[in-house]
């Protein structure tokens, strides 16, 4: 949990890991898709590092694009469920008179590449840059979600204590999401409250 306490103001990897684990619990079939995408991503990155020809890299780009579109759609569909549960939970806390600083909270999704472009087009356009960097800079592996309060990033609009409370409320709403969507018992262990 310690690294997850940086979920709001920390690196996108922290949010992605939290989001993916939650999605895999609710939709286990997405884990297999995610793993297939990760294998294709490793192959494309390996071909970029080895500086293979554009033709060779483009073979992995096509595979990555096909899997990436499918994965991104799953991510976005699950994000809508996650956002609805999270914001509904926050509204209840605010309407009770608690946590008024979360009054205008919203949750935004970034798919990992430019919104107006298809993934295959984005991979093609970033090929030169990716070859120079030695890794793939666009795709659902760069997906992120951010919290905003009054149209400003929560990390710059809330105090450190308020951010920690927001993160704990997100965890609690995620437990409710799991209980609502899958038939399972959930055990919450709290140390040093």
Q: Which two tokens stand for residue 58?
A: 């483009």
pTM of the model as a whole: 0.90
Q: Which two tokens stand for residue 103?
A: 């009054």
Rounded to 5 degrees, φ, ψ at 108 are -120, 145
Which residues in the chain come in under a pLDDT of 70? Answer: 1-2, 193
Look at residue 153 and give its three-state secondary structure: strand
- How far is CA 179 from each of CA 16, 71, 80, 82, 137, rounded to the nearest angstrom? 21, 24, 17, 13, 36
Q: Within 10 Å of residue 115's Cβ, how many Cβ atoms?
A: 7
Per-residue model confidence (pLDDT) at position 187 = 80
| DSSP tag of 63 | H
**CA-CA distance, 57 to 43, in Å (whole number)?**
9
Per-residue model confidence (pLDDT) at position 1 = 55
Strands 144-149 and 152-153: antiparallel
Counting runs of H as helices and runs of E as strands, what totals does the chain give?
7, 3
**CA-CA distance, 99 to 108, in Å (whole number)?**
20
CB 25, CB 177: distance < 8 Å: no
Q: Between the CA atoms of 76, 36, 18 and 14, what dihedral angle is there, to the nearest 10 degrees?
A: -100
DSSP codes joined into one string, 90-133: HHHHHHTTS-GGGTTEEEEEE-SS-TTS-HHHHHHHTHHHHHHH
pLDDT digits (tens, 9 = 90+) for 65-96: 999 999 999 999 999 999 999 999 999 888 88
CB 5, CB 171: distance < 8 Å: no
For helices 12-26 and 54-95, the axis angle rounded to 10 degrees is: 80
| DSSP tag of 117 | S
């Amino acid at each position: 949990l310690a690294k997850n306490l940086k979920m709001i103001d920390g690196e996108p990897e922290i949010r992605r890991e939290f989001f993916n684990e939650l999605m895999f619990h609710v939709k286990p079939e997405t884990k297999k898709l995610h793993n297939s995408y990760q294998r294709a991503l490793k192959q494309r990155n390996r071909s970029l590092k080895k500086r293979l020809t554009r033709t060779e890299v483009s073979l992995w780009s096509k595979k990555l694009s096909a899997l990436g579109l499918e994965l991104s759609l799953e991510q976005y569909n699950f994000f809508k469920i996650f956002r609805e549960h999270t914001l509904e939970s926050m509204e209840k806390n605010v309407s009770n008179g608690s946590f008024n600083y979360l009054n205008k909270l919203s949750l935004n999704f970034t798919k990992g590449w430019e919104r107006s472009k298809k993934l295959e087009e984005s991979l093609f356009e970033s090929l030169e840059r990716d070859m120079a960097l030695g890794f793939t800079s666009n795709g659902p592996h760069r997906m992120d979600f951010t919290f905003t309060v009054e149209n400003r990033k929560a990390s710059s609009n809330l105090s450190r204590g308020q951010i920690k409370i927001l993160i704990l409320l997100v965890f609690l709403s995620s437990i409710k999401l799991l209980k609502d969507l899958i038939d399972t018992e959930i055990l919450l262990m709290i140390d040093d409250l």
